[in-house]
Chains A and B, each alone.
Chain A
Amino acid sequence: QVILKESGPALVKPTETLTLTCTVSGFSLTDAKMGVGWIRQPPGKALEWVAHIFSSDEKSYSTSLKSRLAISKDTSKSQVVLTMTNMDPVDTATYYCARIWDDFLTGYYIPFDYWGQGTLVTVSS
């Protein structure tokens, strides 16, 4: 059973650094072409892709957020960590992590097939 669970602070102050952790089970971050991504959604607004990382350690970042982001993985803990610096009230959103992988048996890239429940992060002083 594939499960992803986000954890992190519910409230951060402007200019602070946000650190979110995604803990996964049911698959391994060392499996070939397996990855985890982060997606956020401000209240009442659309989804926004933020970043993702693959087992190969290949990383991709949103162009608009790239200067503030870092994504990493700890395979021993089955965790993917996202840090976002210089938080602003406009970064208030529900942050989701989700699995992304390349099914080499079928030859298809499967985007975000399993999601965590999401964690609401509010940026306010």
Chain B
Amino acid sequence: DIQMTQSPSSLSASVGDRVTITCRASQDISHALAWYQQKPGKAPKLLLYAASRLQSGVPSRFRGSGSGTAYSLTINTLQPEDFATYYCQHYYSTAHTFSQGTKLEIK
């Protein structure tokens, strides 16, 4: 199975900052990557798919990029509601593995 490694595991930032989270696959996944946001006690929310396509209704401050095995999620101008845990997930093969996540906390 393809393994997904996300970094950092936790991150402290302030409102208005820009942050970047990276996700590395154990093999080329050809942009078959999604990013999710999860808040405590809630189901995850799909933010981006195909590495860089914004899901409907998601603010444009969320940007995805990358190719091959290396991908990133950038959040520009952090808002209070963005403090949450973020996961990447590949869907290149039938086993749609998630990463271990990044907890984004307020500094």
Contacts and interface: CB of A to CB of B under 8 A. Distances in A.
Contacts of A63: 1, 95
B96 to A, nearest CB: 5
Nearest to B32: A109
Given A37-B96, A49-B96, A62-B95, A112 B44 contact: yes
B62 interface: no
Nearest to B101: A46
Contact of A108 (B43, B50, B94): B50
B97 interface: yes
A60 B46 contact: no
A9 interface: no
Interface in A58-104: 60, 62-63, 96, 98
A12 to B, nearest CB: 22
A51 B34 CA distance: 17
A46 B96 CA distance: 14
Nearest to B87: A47
Given A111-B34, A113-B46, A46 B99 contact: yes
Interface of B: 1, 32, 34, 36, 38, 43-46, 49-50, 53, 55, 87, 89, 91, 94-101
Interface size class of A (residues with CB under 8 A): 20 to 34
Interface of A: 37, 39, 46-49, 52, 60, 62-63, 96, 98, 108-113, 115-118
B55 A113 contact: yes
Contacts of B99: 46
A111 B95 contact: no
B62 to A, nearest CB: 15
Given A46-B98, A47-B87, A118-B43, A112 B1 contact: no
Contacts of A116: 43
Given A108-B53, A111-B34, A111-B91, A49 B98 contact: yes
